[in-house]
Every structure is written in structure tokens, then in C-alpha cells.
Amino acid sequence: MSDVPAATDGSRRRFLRDATLAGAALALPHAGAATATAPIDAAIDRALAERRLVGTVVLVARDGRTVHRRAAGLADREAGTPMREDTPFRLASVSKPVVTTAAMALVAQGRLELDAPVTRWLPGFRPALADGSRPPISLRQLLTHTSGLGYRFLEADAAGPYARAGVSDGLDLPGFDLDENLRRLASVPLLFAPGSAWHYSLGVDVVGAAIERAADAPLADAVQRLVGAPLGWRDTAFHALDPARLAAVYVNDTPAPHRMQGPETVAFMPGSAGVAFDPARALDRSAYPSGGAGMVGTADELLRLLEALRQGGSDVLPAASVAEMARNQTGTMGPPDAPGSGFGLGFSVLRDPAAAASPEAPGSWRWGGAYGHAWFVDPVRRISVVALTNTLFEGMSGAFVGELRDAVYAQLAATAERA
């Protein structure tokens, strides 16, 4: 390992002590115990009863205190294993804010630069436009999905350019390493000139490779040193550290979600090729670390990161670095399925709550993960919410996401009225 600095033992103990005491003192009981918890638990219970979800862990923090926490349903339906608050999940794109935070820590140290060409760290990564020209691509463009790269699962059919090049989206087991995936990725023409449009992409995987060069360490080690160690993480990594506790994977189906038994391609949206999953990736320590999709972790450890960022960085980042992550970098360009949102570094940023039909305040952050996850942070109202599920795609982009969001605001409003 290189000289990437770790947090001091004292600062780590203070962070964990404060988080633990706050959670223990102010956590509310769950369903059936108090009317204050009814909206959130009702949303969870409805999704389980309607068999849209198999299991979930939901955590809600406000003002740095955990005000609602619940593990519900089953982590493994066939084995009858109840969901637990410390159940690890395959995180998919929930990996992105983690790896982005590691990149920003290196930016703060002067070892990466957001607006420098990525070729400074990856000389061989020089994808071309359709006309053969090779424009520079910055780390900022990679992190905001304005680089001109794409994802294989977003191609119009299963025989698109990424598929023909054998590019991995980081969710399967392709049988080659990260350098080879970047070589394949760079062989495909860019979709547009960098900076001119927004398209969800493998950009964070490229940033992961740049982190390895800048930190002079494997990505997994760099992320643990820069992010995991300051936050006291024990379960979040690029493979399952305790496979026996790992949540099973289910796919929305009729009359109930079916279990993902092995490699499976799941249709994501009309007109796209579908997402190629292999749940065995999380168990394979030799699988390359996909910065955009490859991590495994728990709801509690993700909440620690989100709360550290919301509170200005804690021991992880300087406040100025968090402000840069949370700034809308893309104007009106952003995810087509998220009206009113632009993009920061590692997550979307809400510009217009009315366009999004959302109770969130302007400037709220959110993203999700294809294995069935959603999270958001409302910095104005000092709220952080994590909902990890084992059911795709309901837990990422289904009705449950909006139902839970609305329930959180309804519950907190009711609590404020009684206070």
C-alpha cells in the first residue's frame, strides 16, 4: 500500500461513538408501536404484502440521528432467513458515490485533478469520436456522465457496439481484468463529444482505474483506506466478506419475484438490451473491482457515508470537496427518467422539485442500484434515507421508491407537529 493517509484512531472512535449514541438515544420503534412510524412502515408493509419486494432494510436519519430503522421481509426466501439490519447486499451503482468519494479525497490531496485529461493517469485510454479524432476526457466528465461513454445495457439491442466489443458493465463475471475492459471500452467510438451531452456510463469504472494509479494501490485497498477506515466500515468491500450473510437476489415477476439462480439478463427499459447480472461475482475475490457497480455492503455503512458527506465531510473529505460533489455540474442535462435533475459528482442533484413532483428540497442528492436500492439526502432538511432491497428493479425504480420518499416526509412532518 502507498502513503494514502488513514483516519486517526481517535477521530474514528469519536465518529462511531457519536453515531452509536445518537442512534441508540433517538431511534424510533417500528411498525405497530407508535403512530409516528406509521407512514414509513405502511409503505414497507404494502410493498411486501403486494410481493413487489422480498426484503428490505430502511434507515432514516435526521439532524445526525437515526430516527427510523427497520429490517423487514426475508433476506433469503427459500431458506426462510429473515432480513437483518446488518445484512450485506450487492450494491451495484450504489458503489458510485463511494468510489467518487475516494476520488475526491485524492483530488483534495492533489493526487488527482478533476479537469485534467484522464490520460495523465491512464495513457492508453483514448477513445475516439466517429470521425476518428480523440478528444481529451476529464475526470469531471467521467464522474458526471458527460464523457461520451455509455453502458452496454443501454444499447438498443444485444448486438450493439459495446456488445460486439465484449464490454462488461461490471455486474457479470467476464473472465478478464479491469485493464482489458477499459481497452475494450476505448475501442468503441464515443457517443458524443465530451461535455456536450449526458449519458449514463462506465465513467466511474474508468475513474476507479485512475484511482489505482494515483494511489499506487489496488482500488479495493484505496477505497478502504480513504473511505472505509475513517467510517469504521467492516462489511463494505468489492466482494462479500461474510458470504453466509449476503442477501439473495430476486427479480420482479408474476405472481411473485423469482430468485436469480445464476447469470441472467434482465430487461431494464423498452428499447434497451437489458442488464447482464451474475450474482456469483460478489463471491469471487478474483473479479476485477468495478468502481461503478462492483461493491457489497450494508445499509448502516452507506448511511454513515451519506451522513458524513451531508455534515460536511467529517473525517473523509474537506467541506469544499463535498460542496463540489453536491453542486449541479450539468445544468439542465441529466437522467432522462429523473425530470428536474442535473448531476453532481457521483449522484444526481435535484434542480426543480415541481418538475420531479417531489417533496425534496432543491439541491437534494439521490441515486440507486440495479440490484434494488435507492437512497437520497436532503441537505436543506438535514435528512438522509437509505433503502436497500433484494428485489430488482422495484427497489431502484419501482413504485416503492416514491412511496417511501413520500412516507418519510409525511412521517417527519407529523413528528414535527407533535413536538
Strand 55-62 and strand 383-389: pairing?
A: antiparallel
- Tally helices (H) and strands (E) across the chain: 14, 15
Contact call for residues 300 and 59 (beta carbons, < 8 A): yes
For 195, which DSSP code?
T
User: pLDDT by residue (tens digit) across 40-62?
Assistant: 999 999 999 999 999 999 999 99
Give the pLDDT score at 304. 97
Give the pLDDT score at 263. 98
Average pLDDT value for residue range 229-246: 97
**Gap between the Cα atoms of 21 and 99, Å rounded:** 28
Give the pLDDT score at 417. 67
Contacts 24+ apart (CB under 8 A), 157-165: 157/273, 158/265, 158/273, 158/274, 160/273, 161/188, 161/189, 162/188, 163/273
At a CB cut-off of 8 Å and minimum separation 6, what does 272 contact?
153, 154, 155, 156
| Cell, residue 59 | 434507515
- As a whole number, the mean pLDDT across the chain is 91
Which of 392, 280, 270, 255 is CA-nearest to residue 337? 270
Is residue 221 scored above 90 in pLDDT? Answer: yes
Element (H, E) at 310: helix 299-310
Is residue 264 scored above 60 in pLDDT? Answer: yes
Element (H, E) at 342: strand 341-343
Is residue 351 scored above 60 in pLDDT? Answer: yes
What pTM was computed for the model? 0.91
Is residue 155 scored above 50 in pLDDT? Answer: yes
Give the pLDDT score at 314. 83
At a CB cut-off of 8 Å and minimum separation 6, what does 255 contact?
51
User: pLDDT by residue (tens digit) across 357-401?
Assistant: 999 999 999 999 999 999 999 999 999 999 999 999 999 999 999
Average pLDDT value for residue range 98-108: 98
Rounded (10°) CA dihedral 297, 393, 248, 281:
-60
**Gap between the Cα atoms of 407 and 385, Å rounded:** 11
**Gap between the Cα atoms of 302 and 296, Å rounded:** 10
**Gap between the Cα atoms of 40 and 148, Å rounded:** 39
Could you list the active site residues? 93
Give the pLDDT score at 414. 86
**Gap between the Cα atoms of 310 and 319, Å rounded:** 9
Confidence of residue 419 (pLDDT cuts 50, 70, 90): low
Give the pLDDT score at 20. 36
Average pLDDT value for residue range 159-186: 97
Give the pLDDT score at 394. 98
Which of 87, 101, 90, 143 is CA-nearest to residue 295? 90
